[in-house]
Structure 1
Amino acid sequence: MDRQPETRWRASAIALADGVDRLAARFCEVVVIAVGSALLAMLAANVGARYALEAGGFRFAQELPERLFPVFIMAGVVLGVQKGGHMGVETVLAMLGRQGARIMLLVGHAVVIGSYLLLSRDILLLADMLWIDRSPVMGIPASYGYYTLAIGLTLVIVVTATQAVRVALMGPEAMPVPAPEEQVA
């Protein structure tokens, strides 16, 4: 029996998962750097403006960081999930053996994906209700933060799915391992 088509299919699926992961990582890295830099520059400029301007700073300087911070956080959450930087308990996995650990990880991934799909749906319903509530200075709808959260959760779903593909095809050792300095014993 020729196993080459199956091997090519597995390699293609893993390559696709890796490509999607790289794309999500690059996007989130750019967002973290751009938004983090903008937040830092804006806050520094506002501190300077407090001393230089009679008005005591920029009126938008409190609202804009409030609107940008959820974007910054959600991009960081996605990167944390990709790098295995979320909280995990490994004791049970070690007791299950390789196949049991694979099944448990896949069930866990399915629970995360299903939960985040439901949560995203409810967040979008809430955002639809809050579009009319606007910030006093800039007029940005309150729904903005909720849409940001829904987009972030969608990206978490995507990177969780790519991890599930790798675990299904390669085993539990395909799970990301955080750098030693990021682990808590």
Structure 2
Amino acid sequence: MDNTGNITGNRNGTSWLHWPDQIIDAVCKAILCVTCAAMFAILLANVFLRYLFGTSLEWASELPELLFPWFVMSGVVLATSHNAHIYIGFITDRATGAARLALAFLRAGLIIVTYAVLAWVALDLLPIVADERTPVLGVPGSVTYFVLLLGFLLIGFKELSILIKALHGIRTPSEKVAYE
């Protein structure tokens, strides 16, 4: 056990529960940093060009629009990692024993099913929006919907991971704060 009373992954053979989440979190953090910096740099460059030279970059409005969904979905997936996105665990946190486990299953099931349906809808829309292209860069509209699909799948995976960890007695970051 660690100093917060949690069972650590290394002692009871559950270290495998953490590495997929850590990889996804690292990738999402990198996407957040890159997309935020890129959007800021593009918009800043366009503002300077507009005010200093009276011109602008043609693609400067399109690229941030294409990067923004990556920025948002990576943030949502990270929020899910910390049980901060659609957190309805306040009910589960107050329950104990079998009731806590049953509520955790219900909560995870609802969220996983919801995001599976959203992913299915996004998948169905991919061929429809593939014909739409941005005016300057010519990027298909399916790129944005693919980001949504990927985000929905990762949120479902993260929720499943939270449930599996709960079954192994590993608390989420929000639960650690609530109980300390």
**TM-score band, normalised by the shorter chain?**
0.7 to 0.9
Please list, as runs of the form range in 1=range in 2, the aligned pairs for 1:26-175 lying within 5 A after superposition. Answer: 26-54=26-54, 56-90=55-89, 92-93=91-92, 96-170=95-169, 174-175=171-172
Q: Tell me by how many angstroms 1:37 deviates.
A: 0.6
With normalisation by structure 2, the TM-score equals 0.84
The verdict on how the C-alpha distance between 1:111 and 1:46 changes in structure 2, with shifts beyond 3 A counting, is: same
Q: What is the alpha-carbon root mean square deviation over aligned residues? A: 2.3
How far apart, in 2, do the equivalents of 1:92 and 1:18 lie?
25
CA contact (8 A) 1:106 1:168 kept: no
How far apart, in 1, do the equivalents of 2:158 and 2:174 lie?
14
How far apart, in 2, do the equivalents of 1:94 and 1:115 lie?
22
How far apart, in 1, do the equivalents of 2:35 and 2:23 lie?
18
The verdict on how the C-alpha distance between 1:160 and 1:95 changes in structure 2, with shifts beyond 3 A counting, is: closer
Q: Tell me by how many angstroms 1:32 deviates.
A: 0.3
Partner of 2:19: 19
With normalisation by structure 1, the TM-score equals 0.82
CA contact (8 A) 2:21 2:158 kept: yes
Q: Tell me by how many angstroms 1:110 deviates.
A: 1.8
Q: Tell me by how many angstroms 1:89 deviates.
A: 4.2
Q: Tell me by how many angstroms 1:161 deviates.
A: 1.4
Q: Tell me by how many angstroms 1:162 deviates.
A: 1.1
Q: Tell me by how many angstroms 1:106 deviates.
A: 1.7
SS at match of 1:177: helix
- Which runs of no fewer than 5 residues in structure 2 stay unpaired? 1-8
Give identity over the alignment, percent.
Answer: 25
| Greater share of residues in helix | 1
CA contact (8 A) 1:123 1:150 kept: yes
Letter in 1 for 2:152: L
